[in-house]
Structure 1
Amino acid sequence: MSKVLINVGMSILVGGIFIIAGLILLYKPPKDINGLYGYRTTRSMKNKVLWKEGNKYSAKLLILYGVILMVLDIVVSLAFSNGEYTILVIIGLMIVSSILLIMAVERKLKQLEKTLLE
């Protein structure tokens, strides 16, 4: 039973970190392009328009993915309560979510960049 509680706790923590990061980025977005705070990729740092959109869109996705991740991880934790590798599945889902988030934001920024150049 203690493994289940630890895994559920980790699930809430991981999803909660995504949600909190998204809320901070949504309500306190970085004003200027910088190397410390915000959605920082080569594309997002090209200009102010891409920077602003990258931060706004990634904040919304962080919140959405955080909620999905939390629910999914809790379901996995409860479904595989005796599994020794449940924590690895939770970490794996976090990594996959992060990769999907970056891919989605970069795709959106690429489309925006094309429209800016036209």
Structure 2
Amino acid sequence: MIYALVNIGMSILIGIIFILAALILRKNPPTDINAVYGYRTKRSMKNKDLWNAGNRYSAEVMKQNGVFMILVGSAIGLLFKYTHTTIAILSLMIILIIHMFVKVEKKLKTLEK
């Protein structure tokens, strides 16, 4: 039982962090291309238009991933009450981060043309 609560709590916390990061990025987007704050990849830092689009779209995808993490991670925590379920939830988090990069880079690639 305790494993389920820990896993559900962890899923909710990770999801909230994703959503908060998206809200911060949306409310206070970086004004200039920089190496500290914002969606920073080689493609997004090529020019100001790609920079703005990358930051705007990554915030949207990050928010969606946060909601997905809360729902699916909590379901995993409820259905599988084992200690190694934590690894599955952390793996889901990594997959969602990779998913965000793939999705945003694909969008930026189409805008780049």
Task: Pick the TM interval, shorter chain.
Answer: over 0.9
Unaligned runs of 5+ in 2: none
4+ residue stretches of structure 1 with deviation over 6 A? none
Code of the aligned partner of 1:93: L
Counterparts of residues 5-84 of structure 1 (less than 5 Å): 5-81=5-81, 83-84=82-83
What is the CA–CA distance in structure 1 between the aligned matches of 2:55 and 2:9, rounded to whole Å? 28
1:109 maps to: 108
Deviation at 1:107, TM superposition (A): 0.3
SS of corresponding position for 2:88: helix
State TM-score, norm by structure 1.
Answer: 0.94
> 1:99 maps to which residue?
98
Render the CA deviation track for 1:81-101: whole Å, top value 9, x for unaligned. Answer: 2x1211000000000001111
Identity %: 50
- How many residues align structurally? 113
The runs of 5 or more residues in structure 1 that have no matched partner are: none
User: What SS does the corresponding residue of 2:91 show, helix, strand or coil?
Assistant: helix
Measure the CA separation in 2 of the matches of 1:111 and 1:22: 22
SS in structure 2 at match of 1:38:
coil
Q: Which letter maps to 1:108? A: K
